[in-house]
Amino acid sequence: DAGITQSPRHKVTETGTPVTLRCHQTENHRYMYWYRQDPGHGLRLIHYSYGVKDTDKGEVSDGYSVSRSKTEDFLLTLESATSSQTSVYFCAISESKPGTTSGNTIYFGEGSWLTVV
């Protein structure tokens, strides 16, 4: 196992409420990622982090913010949840940027299932 813990694993929330998903790693990896996976779209990058307090947007960042105050924790926040944010969210980690070291790639947490009603 890659030493990644996501919490909560399942959550149902109401439209307009804030939601924070937490990703915790024990590998001391520099890079951390948040993806969402939806039918017909595959995995899409929301935000990623390349170090403490260093984050950047991914493909589908609108409506999401992130924070990384410690190497081991990467938080994803939905400031005001909408039904379109119902999805499964995966955190991932990598030691270095994928492709920069031969064979280096990313490893995923078990996922957080979020339903916005």
Partner 1 sequence: RKEVEQDPGPFNVPEGATVAFNCTYSNSASQSFFWYRQDCRKEPKLLMSVYSSGNEDGRFTAQLNRASQYISLLIRDSKLSDSATYLCVVNPPNYGGSQGNLIFGKGTKLSVKP
Residues making contact with partner 1 (CB under 8 A): 33, 40-45, 48, 56-59, 90, 97-100, 103-111
| Min CB(30)–partner 1 separation in Å | 14
Cβ closer to partner 1: 18 or 51?
51
| Min CB(16)–partner 1 separation in Å | 28
Q: How far is CA 63 from CA 46, 72, 78, 98, 105, in A?
A: 10, 24, 6, 26, 27
Integer Cα distance of 83 and 117 in angstroms: 6
| Min CB(88)–partner 1 separation in Å | 8
Tokens representing 14 are 């109401």
Cβ closer to partner 1: 12 or 17?
12
Calculate the CA 86 to chain-centre distance: 14
Cβ closer to partner 1: 70 or 97?
97
Backbone angles phi, psi at 18, to 5 degrees: -80, 145
| Min CB(11)–partner 1 separation in Å | 16
